[in-house]
């Protein structure tokens, strides 16, 4: 069933509301990573003169291109782990718009809900971002120490995080914080499984930056499905 939810989310990508959020999220994410790269390069280059006690002037000049190349490789490696948290941070600010667009198209009879209060949304988003960065940094270290298990570590960690956070962010709109927490406890296994399936595209460069918006849309469908089951039960 989660595959059906995901297919519906993918099918709505041409929606102008989706495209706007998607392009904005991608643009801001790539811009942020580019800015991080520039800061890293110039920061390392600024530190090179302080190494004059081990490097002569010619060696320092020759190290500049290596710093640029090394920084680029480092950013590419880090982006594999940080692209999704960064994109999630940006896209989470537009979660209401994603969920509203999904509900407008697929659940038009539902009453409209008030937008999450701005500061509550900021708090939830920052907390979500902090948790994802922390877990992904730990996963990065664990993957470096145990490379043979790195895909499994990445898969399980982000599967849990994506499932938990996107479900609760979506569910809170309709049933409040307490209701979302209770529903997560009830459907924890299915949510984690759904999050793991959502994690699969994270291994595909560039495609992985689509996951925040697709995740929000997919879990909107998922929430309404289990909410209906709960109501009928």
Query: For residue 66, what pLDDT is reported?
Result: 59
Q: Which of 21-25, 51-55, 144-148, 160-164 has the lowest mean pLDDT?
A: 51-55
- Asked whether the beta carbons of 180 and 172 are under 8 A apart, the reply is yes
Mean pLDDT over each residue of the chain, to the nearest integer:
75
Average pLDDT over residues 96-107: 88
Considering just the CA atoms, what is the radius of gyration of the chain in Å?
21
pTM (2 decimals)? 0.72
Query: For residue 109, what pLDDT is reported?
Result: 87
Over residues 61-89, the pLDDT tens digits come to 555 555 556 666 666 666 666 665 666 66
Tokens representing 40? Answer: 């890293």
Q: Please enumerate in sequence order all residues whose Cβ is within 8 A of that of 97, keeping only pairs 6 or more positions apart, or say none.
A: 17, 21
Most confident range, picked from 30-34, 90-94, 227-231: 227-231
Over residues 195-226, the pLDDT tens digits come to 888 887 766 766 776 777 888 899 999 999 99
């Amino acid at each position: 069933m989660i595959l059906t939810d995901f297919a519906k989310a993918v099918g709505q990508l041409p929606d102008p509301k989706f495209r706007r959020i998607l392009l904005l999220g991608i643009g801001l994410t790539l811009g942020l990573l580019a800015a991080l790269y520039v800061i890293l390069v110039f920061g390392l280059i600024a530190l090179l003169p302080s190494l004059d006690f081990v490097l002569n002037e010619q060696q320092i000049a020759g190290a500049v291109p290596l710093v640029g190349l090394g920084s680029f490789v480092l950013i590419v490696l880090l982006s594999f782990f940080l692209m999704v948290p960064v994109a999630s941070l940006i896209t989470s600010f537009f979660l209401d718009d994603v969920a509203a667009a999904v509900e407008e198209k697929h659940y038009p009879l539902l009453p409209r809900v008030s937008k999450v209060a701005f500061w509550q949304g900021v708090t939830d988003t920052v907390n979500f971002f902090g948790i994802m960065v922390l877990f992904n940094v730990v996963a990065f270290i664990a993957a470096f120490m145990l490379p043979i298990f790195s895909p499994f570590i990445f898969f399980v960690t982000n599967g849990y995080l994506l499932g938990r956070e996107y479900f609760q962010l979506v569910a809170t709109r309709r049933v409040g914080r307490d209701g979302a927490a209770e529903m997560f406890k009830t459907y924890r296994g299915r949510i984690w499984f759904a999050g793991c399936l959502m994690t699969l595209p994270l291994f595909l460069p560039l495609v992985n930056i689509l996951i925040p918006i697709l995740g929000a849309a997919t879990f909107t469908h998922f929430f309404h499905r289990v909410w209906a089951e709960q109501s009928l039960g």
